[in-house]
Amino acid sequence: MRSHLTIVRMLARASNAWASGARSIVTDEKSLRLEAWDRTPPGTSGPAELNRHGVADRAIPWKATMSSGIVSVTATQLPFADGAFDRLVLTDLLEYVRDERAALAETRRVLSEGGRLTILVPYHGPTSWLDGANWHRYLHDLRGSETLLPELSESGWRRRYRKADLQALVASSGFTLASLDQRGTGLSELGWFIGRLLDERRPHSAASHDLDIIRIRYAARSLDRRLQMGPLGSWLIVEATRN
């Protein structure tokens, strides 16, 4: 109950900060994780409204996790002070945002000098076809469905990165690259894709009771990303420090 109250209070404070245009969330924590929500973000009444190009005009919410709670944030306007964190992890986010350079600039702002940044993104290579999010988008377009994955609302499609392109992006955003690793088979994407389709077929009233299925699906993807696959790896993991 205490953890739940912490999350609710932080969400309320974040909402007030956005309304006033101020970055007013104060925390003494030193680590932050930014990623896509694995379910409908709190405070949203339904799917984002898409324009004629199939993307949303407004920024969508992302999940920011600290040990004391969770807040829903905008990737290009984080509600934290300059240099608030020593460690920041971007996973399942950079490939979805509309403006990746703006997101990295904001990431750099909230990191302290010398702070550590970890980025996990899908690799553009032999396993690119194993992409559950883009498969979902193909089906969305073929069926003329109004249901689009929330995380695709900004960019329309999920980007995949070549090593050289990711290295250049990180370096030009004010970070020093420490390491670049390649992992994962990408096979968990198939299970993730099927799971998302099954979720959409369930009555909305039943969806809230299937959180264990959601956790299993994301746990399988997490385990897949731990496998060392060399040049055949489906994911790139960057470790960098803020200049």
**CB-side exposure of 40: number of CA atoms within 13 Å?**
13
Domains: count for the chain: 1
- Per-residue pLDDT tens digits for 199-235: 777 665 544 445 555 566 667 777 787 778 788 788 8
Beta strands of 107-216 (E only): which ranges? 111-122, 175-183
Contacts of 163 (CB under 8 A, 6+ apart): 123, 180, 182, 236
Which CATH number is 178's domain given? 3.40.50
The residue segments making up the domain with residue 165 are 2-242
**What pLDDT is stored for residue 87 in this prediction?**
96
Q: In the predicted model, what is the mean pLDDT of the chain?
A: 79
- Looking up tokens 């992302």, which residue turns up? 62
Which amino acid, one-letter code, is at 39? R
Decide: 169 and 101 in contact? Cβ < 8 Å.
yes
85-91 and 31-35 strand pairing: parallel
Higher pLDDT, 68 or 163: 163
Contacts of 173 (CB under 8 A, 6+ apart): 101, 104, 105, 107, 108
Higher pLDDT, 61 or 170: 170
- Per-residue pLDDT tens digits for 86-110: 999 999 899 999 899 999 999 999 9
Spatial CA neighbour of 47 closest among 206, 204, 215: 204
- Per-residue pLDDT tens digits for 1-60: 333 333 334 444 444 444 344 445 766 778 999 998 866 666 665 666 666 666 777 778
- Judged against a pLDDT cut of 70, whether residue 193 lies above it is answered with yes
